[in-house]
Structure 1
Amino acid sequence: MSRKTPSGKTASRKTSFRRTARWAPAAGLAALALTATACGGDDGATVQGVKLIEKGALTSCTHLPYPPFQSEDKKTGKVVGFDVDVIDLVAKRLGVTQKVVDTPFETMKTGSALNAGKCDIQMGGMTIKPDRTRFMDVSDPYFDATQSLMAKKGSGVRSLDDVKAKKLKLGSQASTTGEEFVRGKGFDPRSFDNSNAELDGLRTGQVAVIVQDDPVVRGWLKDPANSSFELVANLNTGEQYGMWMRKGHNPALVKLTNQVIAQARSDGSYKRIYEKWIGPMPPAAGGGS
């Protein structure tokens, strides 16, 4: 997944505020070279062995919008979503509140946002990939993901082969694993900066088909405004999402996050969050990954 917005905007879960990835090795190496200021300031704290950049808060980076994983509630201005609820469980275990920082995805995928002390943990449907684990620590998988194709009803599309055979223009979200997947299949998709722009591209006919994370597509199709479109195909890419932390810096937070994910799966919390934001949970989704 991916998205691009102005950096530096923050929001408490309690307050209002204004969210995957063409890999750039050089950027990743530069990210490692950054010296972090996260816990060196007077505002930092250590709770249960976990280093926090701000006292009383677990600060999370994400890139908005990316419903149902995170987006800004139009009525309250709060950042809400599947990932937000999972990180809230971690914050609750620490006895603090979650604070969300809206961050360009480019600074998230390289680890530079973490290294620069912008946040303690990163969320946002970020696929676990070897190139990312070189520069960041990652939690155990918390979500099994697939990609889906969305098109206008009656398009006759049921696969990527159909898109190619019909010579239809395919759209994708920039820097996402979905975009990487279709490029690997020989497509040259039109790349949109964020998920909203990608959806608008489909609505306005700039593209005939789009590829996006399956839960995102299913969320869009719940909106009556998208009633003329449908999910036309699933692409099982074997992806799993993880929560990301600064490399070698906060092992206690990695351990705690894994404990929280495991407990949520066993005590029913995960199921409640899943069904709140995604829908009926497949039996396999509740177990370990």
Structure 2
Amino acid sequence: MKVTGRSLGRAAAAAAGALALTVTMAACGGDDDGGDSAATVDGIELVKADTLTICTNLPYKPFQYPDDSGEIVGFDTDLLGLLADDMGLETEIVDVDWNQVTSGAAFKAGKCDVGMGGMTITPEREAAIAISDPYFEATQALLVKADSGIAGLEDLKGKKLGVQTDTTGEVYANENAAKYGYTPVAFDDLSLEATALLANRVDAVINDNGVLYDFVKDNPDTKVATEFDTGEEYGFAAVKEANGEKLIERLNGVLTTSKEDGSYDEIFAKYFGE
């Protein structure tokens, strides 16, 4: 399976334009006999022929991130690779603002077929997009400098707490700001948020536990001070229309099979260990 990754946000606009052109060409190029076009697989319409186009917001290691060669890899990437293999497709990854995935705007604009990003399933998101069965459990956690002395939100009075825009971590931080007396500071992605902590622009960072523990591996001067029992589950996203529902149904079958045949466990061990 070939994976084409766009690891820089600046590529998103160009990618969107190219994909929109592809959609137009595919729509005009159907088979004369009324059968499936090149951009349709088993009744599921794709924005680009022979390709599963995936929207995400980079980086979000270890779920999706550019490796040293610039290729986009990660836990979510590998799981959606199983779907692409099942459908006989290659994959292409498009970097967009995260709210374009959670609001469904990226799908309605024809930028992608499916969205990934360690996305917590919430009632608001279920109302806006089609979401797969849960595939990963998570909770919010607090990242701090190892020598900060900060153990929890109660130690942040008068301090700054970094949050990632349009995430459940931002919601949790905002809900508790008045109680603990800190100021939330928003960043567009995880990388900017974590870098702000290293640069002492914020005193702590809140985000999903999986990505923060991974960050600590590469930054031993930081630590996860505590977790918050938010009981979250991740799902993949698609447009909330019949075509998106078909794609999600296909994905749910692939996820079920992966847990039965051991491929899910292999991918999990690859990024999180045993």
Distance in 2, matches of 1:39 and 1:162, equals 56
Per the normalisation by structure 2, the TM-score is 0.84
2:197 maps to which residue?
202
CA RMSD of aligned residues (A): 2.0
CA distance in 2, matches of 1:38, 1:176: 35
The question of whether the paired residues in 1 share the 8 Å contact of 2:4 and 2:92 is answered with no
Segments of structure 2 that go 5 or more residues without pairing to the other structure are: 9-22, 30-36
Q: Indicate the residue corresponding to 1:8 in structure 2.
A: none
Q: Residues 60 and 101 of structure 1 are in contact (CA less than 8 Å); yes or no, is this contact kept in structure 2? A: yes
Name the aligned partner's letter for residue 208 of structure 1. Answer: D
Return the offset for 1:161. 1.9
**More deviation in 181-190 or 227-236?**
181-190
Q: Which has more helix, going by share of residues?
A: 2
After superposing on structure 2, the runs of 4+ consecutive aligned residues of structure 1 that deviate more than 6 Å are 36-39
Which whole-Å CA distance do the structure 2 matches of 1:247 and 1:15 have between them?
Answer: 26
Query: 1:220 & 1:227 partners in 2: Cα distance?
Result: 9
What is the deviation of 1:41? 4.6
The 8 Å contact of residues 13 and 79 in structure 1, kept in 2 or not, is answered as: no
Shift of 1:252: 2.2
Task: Return closer, same or farther for 1:125/1:103 CA change in 2, 3 Å cut-off.
Answer: same
Give how far 1:140 is off. Answer: 0.4
Return 119-128 or 186-195, whichever deviates more.
186-195
TM-score (normalised: structure 1): 0.80
Letter in 1 for 2:134: P
Q: Gaps (5+ residues) in structure 1?
A: 1-11, 20-35, 281-289
Amino acid at match of 1:212: N
In the TM superposition, 1:100-179 aligns within 5 A as: 100-164=93-157, 167-179=158-170
Looking at structure 1, the residues matched to 53 and 213 of structure 2 have their Cα atoms a distance apart, in angstroms, of 29
| Closer, same or farther: CA 184–13 of 1 in aligned 2, 3 Å | farther
Alpha-carbon distance in structure 2 between the residues aligned to 1:41 and 1:274: 41
- 8 Å contact kept, 1:38–1:52: no
SS at the partner of 1:207? Answer: coil
Deviations 1:161-215 (A, max 9, x none): 2323xx3321111221101101111253111121111111100111111111111
Tell me the matched-pair count: 248
Q: 5 Å matches for 1:241-280? A: 241-250=234-243, 251-280=245-274
Is residue 77 from structure 1 mapped to residue 64 from structure 2 by the alignment? Answer: no
